Structure formats: structure tokens, C-alpha cells
Structure 1
């Protein structure tokens, strides 16, 4: 720390999820196992899609991108926690914390945008099957992903720039295992009204736009379920079941955490944060592979190949 009229912090202390050493040891082992599974599971999904020409379709192109984002998302938070435990330290520098916030916001929003794009892809496949290949052209798929990256990076840059304008005084203890924006805002000795306002306006818009698109897509898709044809029902359920499961898990946790002021952040919010930062990237490969015959076949071919 250094003196400049008042004491500012040059680092934060990540206190983790538990203050007891026995529980921290257990959590270290659990998070290490989950991180390894996240990396291997999502990497296998990417490899299977890359090597199987039958999976070179818009649906699996978006799934491969989602798996890559999940790898990056978990790598923003978990490795620092594991490293600190090994070194017997709880500190993270101010610069590292701001970088972590930037990429955390980028990847969490990128997950939402990709889920939205995947919902549109499923809507097109089910509701407009005859025009599917004409609508979901490769150029459009690349453009949708590229536009999502631009929007999410600009959004993350806005919130990070607002965060670095704040003053952080003597209190630097973060009751979390990473620099979650809300716990960091609670530590500021500056007025965080603008930050909270941007979370509810710009953040709400960036968050709710993909969510709304997903809901609209499923409203149209639900019309297929009303058809008397058992084939149509089976097709819709097999096509959308995995995606709908991931959407429910991801957005259910986020809605409970970030749709209220930062000052009311609680232990329950911290648990919900673990769900969408660790649990969702962990279960995504299993949800998409176990419920998808094409993915299971591609994974078997990939394993036998090596």
C-alpha cells in the first residue's frame, strides 16, 4: 500500500469460499478436479467436432465456440485460486484483479450470446427446415460469433473502466475466490451509483437481449410440440433438450446474482456464482454429449483414433 491523502490498496485478499483450513483443503481438491474435467471435457468436444466432417454444421460450430468460451471462462478464475492455495497466499494485485474482472465479464456475456445464437439456429432448423441451409450460411455464422465478441468486449471494457475510476481504501478483503465485480464494488470507498446504474442499464440490456431472443425462439419452437406428429415432438425434444437444460442452469443462477444492487450481495449469491462459473462449464460437455447421438459417435471415433 502507499500513502496519497488516504491509504489506497494495491492488492486484494481473496478469502475464498470458506474461512476454515480443513474446508479450504477440500475445496482445493474439488476445484482442481472440476477444472481438469472442464478442460478435458470441453477440449474433447472441440476435437470431436473438428475431426468429424459430419459435424461441420452451424449447430456444432456454435457448440465448439461455446466449449472454447467455457474453457476460457473457467481459466479466468480457478487457476489463480489454485495457485494461491499452493503458495499459501490469498493476494491478487490490483491490476490482476481488474484484468480478471474484464475477462470475467467478457466470457460470461459471451456464453449468453452463444446460447442465444444456438437458440436461433434451433428455431431455424425446426420452424424453417426447407430454408435452413440458405439462412444459416457459413458467413452468417461467423458474423454472429464475431459480432458477439465485439459487443461483449466493449461491454467488459465499459465496466472495467468505470471500476478503475473508483477509490479503494483500507478494506481489501474479498469474500470470494476471484474478483467478482459485485464484492469488489462493495469494498469501494467511492460512490458506486454510476457503476450500479450501468449494471442495470447497459449490463441489463446486454444480458437480457440474448435471454429474450432465447425465450422468443422457444415460443416459436413450442408450436412444433403442439403438432400431432410424434416425429415432430421427438425431433424438437432431441434437438433442443440439451440447449434448454444449459440455458436454465446458466441464466437461473445469473438472474439471482446480478439483478439487484451490489450492496445486497450475499453468501447465497456467492454459491450461485459458483454454479455458472464452475458447474455450468463442467456439465456442458456431458449434457451435449450424453444427449446427442452424433456427438457420442464422434467422440467414440476420436477416442479410437488415438
Structure 2
């Protein structure tokens, strides 16, 4: 494989060559990344400081926030530094590492979203048996399964990528090491590999989305037996989850569930599931989730009150 690969680095063509657009993108993506870090940190601290952490929904939400930060950190810091320094290159090793980490943290986030939908479905459809169904042991097993699934998928996709020969050209029409742009610059016929990518990534995204959609159809169907206050509370919690799922899966399905080729629009859709959706996740879960807003309010009000009392 080493004899076939004589490329030591890749050059990203980026989002635009226009200097003004690059400055705007730098400021905007820097703001987005800071918002992602601060928003998810607030969620993690609020959950850890309250007894709500022991409830399955918040236990899974803490893992989702952690994966949110890890996933977007695979791409966003590099993109920001490239826009600032004007250097749009990456080594072969860093490119392959980005391929692995994005698939790893991305599929964990997908599985955690699926587990959260299952948790809400159990809580609403089987309220009397909820504590038995979603006990701590089962919650831990579901998270371990999500990590194991992420590792299996990441290694499978990484093995396909690392076995490809790259001998030139080394320009990637993207802002990070995405799958289809890499296949385009490989020095071999990548049609079969592209089909495998579609079968792997696209079908996983589609099947997971269908499962999530089905779980929320079941939840909405069972809301008929709840009071008006109960329906409002459930819709507040589930509405947040549905919004996050739509933002994440919509662009992902479009990007990967199609013939293995590249389009200029791919970079725009990639921005949604690598930066935009992770930025909106904390806002959606805090502003649309009544219980989360109350938990955060209690934590930070108590902290401010204790600091004032101490001073």
C-alpha cells in the first residue's frame, strides 16, 4: 500500500476563494464553535449538579452533549484555523484520523438519539413499567452498545479509506476529509467502494431515521390518553428531540443516500450536520425543553446565590 501512496498531504479547496466571504465564514464559524462549547458545557454542568442526572433522559442527554462537542471538534477547529491562516492543507495521517473520528463520534451520536427516542417511547407508552424497562444497568448497556457500534462502523469505513491508493492529484473539493471527495482523487476505480459507502452510511442514516420517526408516531398516538398538561409537557420534550433529529438526519440522508459522486451543494449540506445542527442542539434542548430550563435555572440561580452569600 505504501508503494502506491506517494501523497503526503491533501489540499482543501474550501468554501470560497473570495476574501470577504472567508472573513465572514471565519467570524461566523468561530461564533458557532464557541456557542457549541458553551451551550453543551452548560447542559453538562446543569445535569451533573442536579439529581436529574440519574434520570435516563438526562443521562442520555449528557452523553449526546459530549458527543456533540467531540463530533464537531473533528472539523470546526481545523476549518477556523484554515480560514484564519489561509493554509488549507492537511497531512495524509491527519486526514485518515479525521475520517475515523468523524465516523466514530457521528454514529455514536446517531445511536444515542435513537436510544433517547426509545426512552421517551417507554416513558409515555409504558409509564408503570418505565423504571423497570429503563433501569441503570440497561441504560449503561445501551450506551456501551452505542460506543461499540461507533467503533465497528468507524473501523469498517476507515479500512476502506486507508486501503485506497492516492498518487495525485491531491486537491479535495471540500473543507474536510469527506468520503466522496476522497474517492474522487483516489488512483483506482472506486465505484464498488462508493456503493459500499452508500450502503453503509446512507442506509444506516435512512433506517435510523425511519425508526426514530416510527417511535414518535407511536408517542403521538399514545398522547390521546394523557391530560392537556401531560400532552403539553410531552410535546415540549419530544419536540426538541424531533427538531434535532430533523436537522441532523435531513442533510445526512441527502449527502450519502445517492450515487457516489460529488456536487458543489455537498459542502453546504455538510455545514448543517457538522456545525449548524451541533450549534442548535443546546439551544433546542434548553429553550424548548421546560424541564431542562427549570433544571438549569435552579442550578445557576443557586450558584449565583451561594457566591453572593459567600462574598
Partner residue, 1:165: 163
Residue number among 262, 270, 273 corresponding to 2:270 in the alignment: 273
Deviation at 1:226, TM superposition (A): 4.0
Please show how residues 239-278 of structure 1 align to structure 2 within 5 Å: 239-263=237-261, 265-278=262-275
Please give the root-mean-square deviation of Cα atoms over the aligned residues, in Å. Answer: 1.9
Please show how residues 21-100 of structure 1 align to structure 2 within 5 Å: 21-100=19-98
Q: Secondary structure at the match of 1:8?
A: coil
Partner residue, 1:121: 119
Q: Secondary structure at the match of 2:11?
A: strand
TM-score (norm 1): 0.92
Runs of 5+ unmatched residues, structure 1: none
Deviation at 1:52, TM superposition (A): 0.8
- Structure 1 CA distance, aligned partners of 2:260 and 2:210? 24
Deviation at 1:278, TM superposition (A): 0.4
1:44–1:232: structure 2 CA closer, same or farther, 3 Å change rule? closer
**Greater mean deviation of Cα atoms: 198-207 or 94-103:** 198-207
Please show how residues 227-238 of structure 1 align to structure 2 within 5 Å: 227=225, 229-238=227-236
Partner residue, 1:8: 6
Partner residue, 2:193: 195
Deviation at 1:229, TM superposition (A): 4.3
**8 A contact 1:70–1:111 mirrored in 2:** yes
Deviation at 1:232, TM superposition (A): 4.4
**8 A contact 1:106–1:156 mirrored in 2:** yes
TM-score (norm 2): 0.91
- Structure 1 CA distance, aligned partners of 2:230 and 2:63? 28
Residue number among 249, 273, 284 corresponding to 1:287 in the alignment: 284
1:209–1:188: structure 2 CA closer, same or farther, 3 Å change rule? same
1:144–1:249: structure 2 CA closer, same or farther, 3 Å change rule? same
Deviation at 1:288, TM superposition (A): 0.6
**Greater mean deviation of Cα atoms: 174-183 or 230-239:** 230-239
- Structure 2 CA distance, aligned partners of 1:108 and 1:246? 14
- Structure 1 CA distance, aligned partners of 2:134 and 2:294? 24
Runs of 5+ unmatched residues, structure 2: 305-311
Output one character per residue of 1:235-257: Cα deviation in whole Å (capped at 9) or x when no partner.
43123110011111111111111
